Amino acid sequence: MAIKILYVILSGGQARRIGGKCKLLLDIGGMENDSTPNDDMLVLDYVLRLIPTQAVTEDAILLNCNDAPDKPALTKALQDRIGKIVAVTTDMPEFMGQGPLAGLLASLDYARRHQFDAVITFPSDTPFMPENLVTKLLESSDNGRKIVSAFSNGRVHPVVSLVSIQYHDALYDYLASGNRKIQPFFEAHDWRIIKFDKIKFDQIKFDQIKFEMQQAGDESYDPFININTEEDLQTARKIATALKIR
């Protein structure tokens, strides 16, 4: 039986280390995509490439974004790119701004009210997630009944996960008890981890930037590299230029 997946973009963080900028609106370049309205290639564009096209027609995309100065610009950029208004949810009032678990709970709540079976969450600061991410999460989810997270470079990435709506009530109770860490909650339930390898630059089309990065010793990259600082942003721009995703 086909399961209904809600694809959630989590954008609830305050991004203090990068000056409070909305990470999804950061221009990192590199990708060529005729559907984008401007020359800017945002982190948002990279995240959207992972979401199946049918999710647009099925209204299966959700933006979790608390009130912030960049929220109107973000919702407009998202609408411009997919051609329709996208549902937006905030954290529940009692857990407002309490980290990714609060965003996950708000997403599970929306999913349950709209008859979805599970959510797949994408962080706002991780542009290079592998193209087979959704497929691999689904394959290990026991038809959407598990929690499945990505793993790479010796680290688990719990914000990149498939989570069944059956965990809604348990997560609510967990947060209500004052807990904030996401990994202990997952560990207490039926959690699976899927490993993704680092990607070598010689596996992809590249230009001069590849040589420059290899000279610095960067012959491969972690597809779950995230952007937390200005230095991370510059690294992401180098990778984006080398990738030339089409």
Q: Answer yes or no: is 107 within a domain.
A: yes
Secondary structure of residue 91 in the 3-state scheme: coil
CATH code for the domain in which residue 182 is found: 3.90.550.10
More confident residue, 86 or 246: 86
Distance CA 218, CA 200 (A): 9
Distance of CA 70 to the CA centre of its chain: 18
Indicate whether 5 pLDDT > 60: yes
Indicate whether 185 pLDDT > 60: yes
Strands 147-152 and 61-64, by their bridges, are unpaired
Tokens 């990149």 -> residue: 160
Q: Answer yes or no: is 32 within a domain.
A: yes
Find the mean pLDDT for residues 175-184: 96
Q: Answer yes or no: is 150 within a domain.
A: yes
Q: Answer yes or no: is 75 within a domain.
A: yes
**Residues 100-134 as b or e (16 or more Cβ within 10 Å = b):** bbbbbbbbbbbbbeeebbbbbbbbbbbbbbbeebb
Q: Answer yes or no: is 126 within a domain.
A: yes
Q: Answer yes or no: is 212 within a domain.
A: no
Q: Answer yes or no: is 244 within a domain.
A: no
Listed in sequence order, the residues at least 6 apart from 1 whose beta carbon sits closer than 8 Å to its beta carbon are: 143
Distance CA 201, CA 179 (A): 40
**Residues 192-207 as b or e (16 or more Cβ within 10 Å = b):** bebebeebebeeeebe
Q: What confidence tens digit (pLDDT) does each residue in 50-63 have? A: 999 999 988 999 99
Backbone angles phi, psi at 134, to 5 degrees: -60, -45
Running DSSP on this structure, what letter comes out for residue 27?
A: B
Out of 85-99, 161-175, 203-217, least confident range: 203-217
Check residue 212 and give its pLDDT: 58
Indicate whether 138 pLDDT > 90: yes
Find the mean pLDDT for residues 131-140: 95
Distance CA 175, CA 94 (A): 9
pTM for the model: 0.89
Q: How large a percentage of the chain has pLDDT more than 70? A: 83
Q: Answer yes or no: is 238 within a domain.
A: no
| Residue ranges making up the domain that contains 74 | 5-198
Banded model confidence at residue 241, pLDDT cuts 50, 70, 90: confident
- When the pLDDT of each residue in the chain is averaged and rounded to a whole number, the result is 87
Total domains present in the chain: 1
